[in-house]
């Protein structure tokens, strides 16, 4: 019997049924078939999400669970709930996250990206400096096409850490051309430690900076992050623990 099931499942491109049919509890026929199909659908969704997360190129798979929103100030027209619901992706709107180092910009951007993948959206993540280096390396040999296509075809493009390293003129121009291609076709989350009034310091050229700001900032939701660095807080609390341990050792001896 299982051979026939296997054949039918293959014909219907539902080979997952063979792995799942024994896992479903049987109460009645309708319930059994319905639950079996639900399991097939869930399994496919999960596998698609895993594939999307792998393709996105995130440095880790942070989630919103445990994220502390207290450093984040929301603009009019966007709140925590609508951000987490990813409405901005549906509406092809941009989000700019600006604030000091270690305040949780990258973590929030990745968490939203992972959530988008779980919802079946395509995402591409790049640190700005890495993307520029990749483009500078591949472009002259005519090999940048795939990198650019992966970005422009994604529902969400995350450009992380604009502002830490100044770009060369060639790199800034390439970045601009990628962003122009995706303008209004997708959402872009940009994170930066520099307010955009100072972006000409990293892009050099005033005209190009103005055009980039026009693409990334106008019509964007701007979230500002403030407060002390979480990295610093974590390091300090580790030091405090170490000090506690040292004190405890000292009292024991
Ligand atoms: N608001 C926050 N809630 C929870 N963890 C945070 C928060 N902000 C930062 N962190 C943690 O601190 C570290 C640095 O955060 P990160 O997102 O890289 O900061 P940024 O990109 O703003 O420099 C990470 O380990 C991150 O998980
Ligand atoms: Mg960061």
Q: Tell me the pairing of strands 94-99 and 72-73.
A: unpaired
Tally of domains in the chain: 2
Q: Are residues 37 and 131 in the same domain?
A: no
- Closest to 163 measured CA to CA, from 108, 229, 212: 212
Torsions phi, psi of 84, nearest 5? -65, -25
Q: Are residues 27 and 80 in the same domain?
A: no
Q: Are residues 92 and 192 in the same domain?
A: yes
Torsions phi, psi of 131, nearest 5? -60, -45
Q: Are residues 225 and 131 in the same domain?
A: yes
| Residue 248 included in any domain | no
Q: Are residues 20 and 112 in the same domain?
A: no
| Residue 243 included in any domain | no
Amino acid 249: pLDDT? 46
Contact (CB, 8 A) for 225 and 72: yes
Distance between Cα 182 and ligand 2 center (Å): 22
Quick one: which atom of ligand 1 is closest to the CA of 234? 12
Residue located via tokens 């026929």: 29
Write the DSSP symbol of residue 23.
T
Which residues of the chain have a pLDDT value below 50?
Answer: 246, 249-253
| Residue 179 included in any domain | yes
| Residue 101 included in any domain | yes
| Residue 103 included in any domain | yes
Q: Are residues 139 and 181 in the same domain?
A: yes
Q: Are residues 134 and 198 in the same domain?
A: yes
Q: Are residues 28 and 113 in the same domain?
A: no
Write the DSSP symbol of residue 154.
S
For ligand 2, an ion, list residues with CB under 5 A.
Answer: 106
CA 226 from centroid of its chain's CA atoms: 21
Q: Which long-range contacts (CB under 8 A, 24 or more apart) does 72-76 make?
A: 72/104, 72/108, 72/223, 72/224, 72/225, 73/223, 73/224, 73/225, 73/226, 74/221, 74/223, 75/221, 75/222, 75/223
What does the block give as tokens for 159? 């450009």
Amino acid 239: pLDDT? 61
What pTM, to 2 d.p., does this model score? 0.86
Q: Are residues 44 and 95 in the same domain?
A: no
Domain range for 145 is 72-232
Give the residue, by CA position, lying nearest to ligand 1 atom 25.
231
Amino acid 246: pLDDT? 46
Which DSSP helix (H) or strand (E) runs through 181? helix 169-182
Distance between Cα 130 and ligand 2 center (Å): 13
Quick one: which atom of ligand 1 is closest to the CA of 230? 12
Q: Are residues 123 and 221 in the same domain?
A: yes
- Rounded Cα distance between 112 and 1, Å, is 46
Amino acid 251: pLDDT? 46
Q: Are residues 167 and 122 in the same domain?
A: yes
Q: Tell me the pairing of strands 72-73 and 220-225.
A: antiparallel
| Residue 250 included in any domain | no
| Residue 252 included in any domain | no
Which ligand is the nearest neighbour of the Cα of 102?
A: 1
Distance between Cα 87 and ligand 2 center (Å): 23
Quick one: which atom of ligand 1 is closest to the CA of 101? 23
Q: Are residues 50 and 120 in the same domain?
A: no
């Amino acid at each position: 019997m299982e051979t026939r099931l296997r054949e039918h499942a293959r014909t219907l491109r539902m080979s997952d049924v063979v792995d799942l049919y024994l896992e479903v509890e049987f109460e009645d026929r309708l319930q059994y078939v319905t639950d079996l199909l639900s399991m097939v659908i869930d399994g496919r969704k999960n596998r698609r999400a895993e594939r999307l997360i792998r393709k996105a190129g995130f440095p880790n798979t942070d989630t919103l669970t445990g994220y502390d929103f207290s450093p984040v100030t929301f603009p009019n027209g966007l709140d925590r709930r609508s951000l987490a619901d990813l409405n901005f992706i549906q509406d092809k709107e941009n989000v700019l996250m600006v604030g000091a180092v270690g305040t949780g910009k990258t973590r929030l951007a990745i968490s939203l990206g992972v959530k988008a993948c779980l919802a079946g959206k395509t995402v591409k993540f790049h640190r700005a400096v890495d993307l520029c280096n990749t483009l500078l390396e591949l472009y002259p040999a005519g090999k940048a096409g795939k990198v650019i296509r992966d970005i422009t075809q994604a529902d969400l493009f995350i450009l992380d850490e604009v502002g830490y390293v100044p770009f060369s003129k060639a790199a800034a121009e390439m970045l601009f051309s990628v962003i122009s291609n995706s303008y209004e076709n997708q959402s872009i989350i940009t994170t930066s430690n520099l307010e955009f009034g100072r972006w000409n310091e990293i892009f050099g050229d005033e005209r190009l900076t103005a055009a980039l700001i026009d693409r990334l900032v106008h019509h964007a939701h701007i979230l500002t992050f403030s407060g002390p660095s979480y990295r610093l807080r974590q390091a300090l609390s580790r030091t405090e623990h170490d000090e506690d341990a040292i004190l405890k050792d000292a009292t024991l001896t």
